[in-house]
């Protein structure tokens, strides 16, 4: 099965919903944008993709799964496993 960017966006939306965080990394406010703490979002570079997480105070971004830039298929599986782990603890 080929994983598309749209597939990844859907599963990241599911992850943000599960975690109770904003589904967009930034919110437009007068004069600019405000980061949404705890938000998970995708980042693309070097021909790969990874999952970023906005810090809880919204001042930095980290590689949420420590995968580095990888393929869409590998990232999709990693996010599926991450979600399964979260659900198993509930």
Domain that holds residue 44: 5-88
**Local structure of 32: helix, strand or coil:** strand
Average pLDDT over residues 74-88: 97
H runs (alpha helix) in the chain? 5-19, 72-88
Q: State pLDDT tens for residues 20-68.
A: 999 999 999 999 999 999 999 999 999 999 999 998 776 788 899 999 9
**Local structure of 12: helix, strand or coil:** helix
pLDDT at 1: 82
Average pLDDT over residues 69-85: 97
pLDDT at 58: 62
What pTM, to 2 d.p., does this model score?
A: 0.90
- For residue 61, the number of C-alpha atoms closer than 13 Å in the C-beta half-sphere is 12
Domain count, the chain: 1
Crossing angle for the helix pair 5-19 and 72-88, to the nearest 10 degrees: 20
The answer to whether 18 and 87 have CB atoms below 8 angstroms apart is yes
Burial class (CB in 10 A: 0-12, 13-18, 19+), 48: middle
Number of neighbours of residue 36 by Cβ within 10 angstroms: 17
């Amino acid at each position: 099965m080929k994983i598309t960017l749209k597939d990844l966006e859907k599963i990241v939306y599911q992850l943000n919903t599960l975690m109770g965080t904003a589904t967009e990394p930034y919110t437009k406010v007068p004069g600019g944008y405000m980061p949404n703490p705890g938000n998970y979002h995708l980042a693309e570079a070097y021909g790969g993709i990874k999952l970023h997480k906005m810090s809880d105070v919204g001042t930095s971004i980290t590689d949420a799964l420590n995968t580095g830039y990888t393929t869409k298929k590998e990232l999709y599986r990693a996010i599926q496993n991450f979600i399964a782990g979260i659900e198993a603890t509930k």
